[in-house]
Amino acid sequence: MQSRKSSLLLEKDRKNIEKLYLDLVPKVPESKQTCKLTLPDGQTFELPILNGSDGPPMIDSRNLYAKTGYFTYDPGYTCTGSCVSQITFIDGEKGELLYRGYKIQELAKTCDFVDICYLLLYGELPSMQDKKNFDTTMKNEMLVHDGLISFYKGFQTGAHPMAIMVGVVGALSAFMNEDLDVKEAVQREISAIRLVAKMPMIAAIAYRTARGLPIVYPKKKLSYTANFLYMMFADPMDPDYAVDEYLAGVLDKILVLHADHEQNASTATVRIAGSSIANPFACVAAGIASLWGPAHGGANEAVLDMLDEIGDSSNIPECIKKAKDKNSGFRLMGFGHRVYKNYDPRAEIIRDVCHEVLDYLDMKNDPYFKIGLELEKVALSDPYFIERKLYPNVDFYSGIVLNAIGIPKSMFTVIFALARSIGWITQWREMISEPVLRIGRPRQLYVGHINRNVNDRTERENSYDTLSVLTDPPKKGFSIYKP
């Protein structure tokens, strides 16, 4: 395929953009095989089998209910495909991750985050000129509306930056209401670029608001990632403040590794929100909310909390014991993955980066890294983790690296969100460009009451006493409820 010209969003490019998006809409492959389903009454039905370019084949159950009257049951979607896609592919058994067909190891070695944004959005790696144009387009969209900045004033010092992100990214749509017709390819392109370009400023202000620090604006001469670090850390009293280029490169690699990860919880959330034709900024805000949880992107923060709790290598056996005990409610954070049943390739790359960064920063004795390595060694030789194929995932080492370069813990998941914004918006755009879009609407197996009669209120049994009483009874004298 020819390298595509980056769009500068001019009217003359409209046709190019529309054509490009037609190429980027994945097609459902033709079925060449079927399988038979036998129902309890002995009736049999043929179901088509779909084969992608890689990965397990899928039984096409789209017409199952219409043909048989049955639904399928799969909470957590452990074996249910929700879309066809040509963006990202994971082979969990091999521990392989591809963006648009390229191995993550190669991309992490040779590309920066802006290359990856281009690759995900346009399907090809950029030429030198493509990159220059795209970089300019992104920089022109980097500033956020001044009115949006006033939103931050409503958040208290000490607010979690992820709480701010959920609100502010959703609010972006209030400032872009002129270019939000999602049925128009050009407007989808504008939204995608604006979201990704503005994320560094949105994230950096979230941090500075939480700290009560004044806002810093981006600089045109800085790269995407250096700008983010500059806006986070620039000292208002030091006009010569400069971002450490090596550390900006390290953070850039982390962004590359987090850019997309096919149909994970937050991406599936963005897609399902978008399936109702909601605007993309609101959909991404939903994705940020989903990412925040410790089972997903919040794990990088939880890993450091866990390492803090362990405190010393001598406490590792106790931690492993707790992680294996189902009644403890505790899991080894940064371990395990729904898809990878082998080492997460991103974790392998970050572990190497971790060695280099700690060397660069003269932090070879970093207690987090030492305990982390030891914990990994102990877990990977324990039958519980071996049998369940539980390996360190990307979040195990990313928190240690981010902490070493000086990023506060509460910003770890924000950085994940910043990186994943390109994945979310590309996945959203792929979905919304499909010729037939069906609203995401799962089924359920209802196990509640049926056909109850409504009694008269006087005949009902009291049940309120068993419910939670949320507020203390008012004390004597004046009192006011805390909002």
> Among 111, 119, 299, 349, which residue interacts with ligand CMC (rule: CB under 6 A)?
299
Contact call for residue 346 and ligand CMC (CB under 6 A): no
Q: Which is nearer to ligand CMC, 24 or 107 (CB)?
A: 107
260 contacts ligand CMC (rule: CB under 6 A): no
Spatial neighbors of 107 by CB under 8 A, at least 6 apart, are 99, 115, 116, 119, 256
Of 395, 419, 422, 427, the one binding ligand CMC (CB under 6 A) is 395
Question: Which candidate in 130, 344, 366, 395 is catalytic?
Answer: 395
Q: How far is the CB of 77 from ligand CMC (least distance, A)?
A: 10
Which amino acid belongs to residue 11? E
Q: Does 268 bind ligand CMC (CB under 6 A)?
A: no
Query: Residue 467 carries which side chain, given as an amino acid letter?
Result: L
Q: Residue 296 to residues 48, 85, 269, 303: CA-CA distances in angstroms?
A: 33, 21, 12, 12
Binding of ligand CMC by 392 (CB under 6 A): no
* Calpha distance 212→205 (Å, rounded): 10
**Burial of 439: CB neighbours in 10 Å, binned 0-12, 13-18, 19+:** exposed
Binding test (CB under 6 A) with ligand CMC, winner from 323, 371, 425, 431: 323
Active site residue 395: yes
Is residue 264 near ligand CMC by the rule CB under 6 A? Answer: yes
Q: Which stretch binds ligand CMC (CB under 6 A): 63-71, 118-126, 134-142, 296-304?
A: 296-304
Q: Side by side, which strands form the sheet with 33-38?
A: 33-38, 44-50, 58-59
Task: List the structure tokens of 321.
Answer: 């014991």
Name the active-site residue from 112, 337, 344, 366: 337
Q: Pick the catalytic residue: 145, 296, 355, 382?
A: 296
Q: Which residues pair with 96 in a beta bridge?
A: 91
Exposure string (b/e) for 146-177, b if CB count within 10 Å is 16 or more? Answer: eebbebbeebeeebbbbbbbbbbbbbbbebbe
Instruction: Note whether 394 binds ligand CMC by CB under 6 A.
Output: yes
Q: Tell me, what DSSP letter sits at residue 475?
A: P
Does 333 bind ligand CMC (CB under 6 A)? Our answer is yes
Pick between residue 198 and residue 337 the one whose CB is nearest to ligand CMC. 337
User: Edge-to-edge strands of the sheet including 102-103?
Assistant: 88-91, 96-99, 102-103
d(CA 49, CA 52) in angstroms, rounded, equals 10
Contact flag: residue 388 with ligand CMC (CB under 6 A):
yes
Q: Cβ-closest residue to ligand CMC?
A: 336
Q: Which amino acid is at 309?
A: E
**331 is a site residue for ligand CMC (CB under 6 A):** yes
For the window 202-221, what string marks contact with ligand CMC as x by the rule CB under 6 A? --------------------
Q: Per CB under 6 A, does 223 bind ligand CMC?
A: no
* Residue 341 binds ligand CMC, judged by CB under 6 A: no
Residues forming the site for ligand CMC (CB under 6 A): 76, 261, 264, 295-297, 299, 323, 331-338, 388, 390, 393-395
Active site residues: 296, 337, 395
